[in-house]
């Protein structure tokens, strides 16, 4: 009985121990499984976190790459935009410069009204517009090919320069003239010299008179000097060849005209108030110089053959008529005086008509001098 009781108690204890152990084992297994589950969960969470981190990294990298690509594209687009803008601005600037150049070229030879120029240049109140003003020397030179109220004044004395040179070549290549003495040739050459001086001085004056008042005053004096030389040199060949036999009369008239011409030069260059009163003074003095020639003309009626005298007078009448017609137009300011619309501002003014008449008269007188030269060679030359 005691043994059975002991065995029962031991078995009960064993059962209890096993139960407790099983409970412990189950607890352990449960805890372990829980731990494992927890670790799994934590691992899964970690993996999820890693995934999220990787996603974030991917997102960051994608953002960075997109930012870089957008930056590159924006840089490229901005570069293209700036290049396009620069090209466009340069094109606009080029077009603007071209426009300004065209505008400046159009305005380069701007013409002015009578009220806009200096009063020293207002010698014709009936020409209201077409004046150049304050041009440079180079601009004045180029303006001879432009239209203004001095264009014809320039060309009506510029072209005769070449005509006179052509006539000189024509005369000195003639057989009769070639055989004459050097003195005779020099005497005849005085008139072409006077004509060229007049034409050149007038051309230069009308080209550069718009530069400044100083240049205007200087070149006007040379213009008047050219007129004096033309008048004085007009008498020298006529008196020398026509009155060759009458030395005393010839020398007397040559001295008179030379003295009066010298007096004119002194007045032009040294009389301070001459430029202000040049119209009245020059008209008076030039008229006196012209009238001096009447005395030897009348006197020659009793000295030279009548046939020569008649033809000589006809030539002088033609020349004198051309001068008088020109002076009449110039003095009356016709036709611009009767035009209220400025029709003659550029073409057909009185000064231009006067130039044409003076140039024609000067060329006519060239042949009158040649006529006297040949008369002398036929009758008095050895």
Place of tokens 């030359």: 381
Q: Residue 9 is encoded by which pair of tokens?
A: 């108690």
- Range name among 60-64, 205-209, 236-240 with the lowest pLDDT average: 60-64
Measured between alpha carbons, how far is 344 from 329 in angstroms, rounded to an integer? 13
Average pLDDT, the chain: 79
**b vs e for 183-202, b when ≥16 Cβ sit within 10 Å of the residue's Cβ?**
ebeebbbbbbbbbbbbbbbb
Residue 113: beta bridge partners? Answer: 129
pLDDT value at position 96? 46
Of 271 and 51, the one with more pLDDT: 271
Q: What is the pLDDT of residue 19?
A: 53
b/e sequence 213-224, b meaning 16+ C-beta within 10 Å: eebbeebbbbbb
Residue 123's pLDDT band (cuts 50, 70, 90): confident
pTM greater than 0.85? no
Q: Which residue has the higher pLDDT, 57 or 334?
A: 334
pLDDT of residue 232: 93
For the segment(s) 116-379, the CATH number from 1.20.1070, 2.70.98, 1.10.3470, 3.40.30 is 1.20.1070
At residue 5, the pLDDT reads 47
Residues 349-363 have a mean pLDDT of 95
pLDDT surpasses 60 at 162: yes
Query: What mean pLDDT is predicted for residues 217-238?
Result: 92
pLDDT at 2: 45
* Least reliable range by pLDDT among 75-79, 250-254, 279-283, 323-327: 75-79
Query: Is 355 labeled as ligand-binding?
Result: yes
Q: Residue 374 corresponds to which tokens in the numbers above?
A: 């040949």
Closest by CA position to 221, among listed 235, 202, 207, 234: 202
pLDDT, average across residues 14-23: 49
pLDDT of residue 39: 44
Domain boundaries, the chain: 1-78, 116-379
351 labelled ligand-binding? yes
pLDDT at position 73 over 70: no
Question: Regarding predicted confidence, which is higher, 210 or 14?
Answer: 210
Give the whole-angstrom CA distance, residue 17 versus residue 114: 141
What does the alpha-carbon distance between residue 239 and residue 249 come to, in Å, rounded to a whole number?
9
Furthest-apart CA atoms within the chain: distance in Å: 212
Count of helices and strands (H, E) across the chain: 11, 2
Residue 109 pLDDT: 84
Mean pLDDT in residue range 140-148: 96
């Amino acid at each position: 009985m005691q043994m059975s009781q002991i065995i029962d108690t031991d078995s009960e204890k064993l059962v209890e121990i096993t139960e407790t152990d099983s409970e412990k084992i189950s607890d352990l297994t449960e805890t372990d499984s829980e731990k494992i589950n927890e670790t799994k969960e934590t691992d899964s969470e970690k993996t999820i976190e890693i995934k999220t981190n990787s996603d974030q990294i991917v997102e960051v990298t994608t953002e960075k790459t997109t930012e870089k690509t957008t930056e590159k594209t924006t840089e490229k687009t901005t570069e293209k935009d700036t290049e396009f803008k620069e090209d466009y601005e340069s094109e606009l600037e080029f077009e603007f410069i071209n426009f300004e150049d065209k505008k400046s070229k159009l305005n380069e030879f701007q013409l002015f009204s009578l009220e806009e120029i200096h009063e020293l240049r207002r010698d014709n109140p009936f020409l209201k517009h077409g004046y150049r003003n304050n041009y440079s020397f180079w601009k004045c030179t180029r303006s001879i090919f432009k239209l203004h109220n001095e264009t014809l004044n320039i060309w009506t004395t510029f072209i005769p320069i070449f005509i006179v040179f052509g006539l000189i070549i024509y005369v000195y290549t003639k057989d009769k003239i070639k055989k004459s003495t050097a003195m005779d040739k020099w005497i005849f050459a005085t008139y072409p010299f006077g004509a060229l001086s007049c034409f050149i001085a007038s051309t230069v004056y009308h080209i550069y008179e718009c530069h400044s008042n100083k240049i205007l005053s200087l070149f006007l004096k040379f213009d008047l000097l050219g007129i004096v030389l033309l008048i004085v040199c007009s008498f020298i060949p006529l008196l020398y060849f026509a009155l060759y036999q009458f030395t005393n009369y010839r020398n007397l008239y040559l001295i008179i005209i030379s003295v009066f011409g010298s007096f004119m030069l002194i007045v032009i260059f040294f009389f301070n108030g001459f430029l202000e009163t040049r119209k009245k003074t020059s008209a008076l003095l030039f008229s006196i110089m012209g009238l001096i020639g009447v005395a030897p003309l009348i006197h020659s009626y009793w000295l030279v053959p009548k046939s020569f005298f008649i033809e000589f007078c006809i030539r002088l009448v033609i020349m004198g008529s051309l001068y008088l017609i020109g002076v009449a137009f110039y003095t009356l300011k016709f036709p611009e005086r009767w035009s209220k619309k400025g029709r003659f501002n550029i073409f057909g003014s009185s000064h231009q008509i006067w130039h044409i008449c003076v140039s024609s008269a000067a060329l006519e007188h060239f042949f009158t001098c040649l006529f006297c030269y040949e008369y002398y060679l036929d009758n008095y030359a050895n």
